């Protein structure tokens, strides 16, 4: 079956511009996660959606970052007024109902963001 | 602060060798531990998931163990192959914390 998909695969933007990154989770998965992987860094948790519950935004690095999940499926991560330090690979993952964040996560291929 | 540490940071072995990758974590409260591999420029592929009630999981040449009391998990790779070359990451499930990874290179 189809896995997690992300678009675009690569995005180059100028400093100060806004960008939107999209994630299509596996059908039926109620939990969705966004992570960031910077060069030489580990994976950094950004935000977590579980069903209709309020998202856990505790990992978002600044108020320039926001995410939404429409209809419990597709999610969009928005970065406003991009900075060079935002350059990273943004990874999305989904899992089945996962109130305790304990179920197996399936990752998309990521979006490589480069801010020039 | 929740931390996950992976040792070694990098490992280079000849083809055919058995090897062990280590993952240690603070806070023994754990729901599960998941091992992934990441190929260059790609996303993460799940290898094994060990629930807190389990001690080990096996898939093919891979075996992962979990010792909650000592805060450790190991990933054992038997008869390594060049195709095993990748970065291996462990994740502590309930806190969504990843280790920095072990870069494995298997030489033919």
* Partner-chain residue, chosen from B32, B43, B46, that has the shortest CB–CB distance to A109: B43
pLDDT of residue A93 exceeding 90, the answer is yes
* Partner-chain residue, chosen from A45, A104, A106, that has the shortest CB–CB distance to B96: A45
Residue A106 sits at the chain B interface (C-beta within 8 Å)? yes
More confident residue, B78 or B3: B78
| CA A91 – CA A111 distance, rounded (Å) | 7
* Mean pLDDT, rounded, for B43-55: 91
- Helix, strand, coil distribution of chain B in percent, nearest 5: 5, 55, 35
Q: Which of B56, B76, B75, B78 is nearest to B67 (CA)?
A: B56
* Partner-chain residue, chosen from B34, B96, B97, that has the shortest CB–CB distance to A104: B34
Chain A residues whose CB is inside 8 A of the B46 CB are 104-107
Residue B89 sits at the chain A interface (C-beta within 8 Å)? yes
CB A92, CB A6: distance < 8 Å: yes
* Mean pLDDT, rounded, for B2-28: 91
pLDDT of residue A15 exceeding 90, the answer is yes
* Mean pLDDT, rounded, for A46-53: 89
Tokens for A98, please give them.
Answer: 């996962």
| CA B44 – CA A95 distance, rounded (Å) | 13
* Mean pLDDT, rounded, for A30-39: 91
Provide the percentage of residues in chain B whose pLDDT is more than 70: 96
Measured in angstroms, the CA of B43 and the nearest CA of chain A are apart by 4
B1 confidence band (pLDDT: 50, 70, 90): low
Task: Output the pLDDT for position B96.
Answer: 81
Interface mutation vs chain B, best among A42, A50, A98, A110, most B CBs within 10 Å? A42
| CA A103 – CA A116 distance, rounded (Å) | 37
A1 confidence band (pLDDT: 50, 70, 90): low
pLDDT of residue A70 exceeding 90, the answer is no
* Mean pLDDT, rounded, for A59-73: 92
């Amino acid at each position: 079956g189809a896995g997690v998909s992300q678009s675009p695969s690569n995005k180059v933007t100028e400093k100060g511009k806004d960008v939107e990154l999209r994630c299509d989770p596996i059908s039926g998965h109620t939990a969705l996660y966004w992570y960031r992987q910077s060069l030489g860094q580990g994976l950094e948790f950004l935000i977590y959606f579980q069903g209709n519950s309020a998202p856990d935004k505790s990992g978002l690095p600044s108020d320039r970052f926001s995410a939404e999940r429409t209809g419990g499926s597709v999610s969009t991560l928005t970065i406003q007024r991009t900075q060079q330090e935002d350059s990273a690979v943004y990874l999305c993952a989904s899992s089945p109902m996962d109130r305790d964040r304990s179920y197996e996560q399936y990752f998309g291929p990521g979006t490589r963001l480069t801010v020039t | 602060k929740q931390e996950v540490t992976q040792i070694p940071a990098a490992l280079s072995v000849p083809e055919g060798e058995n090897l062990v990758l280590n993952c240690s974590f603070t806070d023994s409260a754990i729901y599960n531990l998941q091992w992934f591999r990441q190929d260059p420029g790609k996303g993460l592929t799940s290898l094994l998931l060990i629930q807190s009630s389990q001690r080990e999981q096996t898939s093919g040449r891979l075996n992962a163990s979990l010792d909650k009391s000592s805060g450790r998990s190991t990933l054992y790779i038997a008869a390594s192959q060049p195709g095993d070359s990748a970065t291996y990451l462990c994740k502590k499930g309930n806190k969504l914390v990843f280790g920095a990874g072990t870069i494995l290179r298997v030489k033919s």
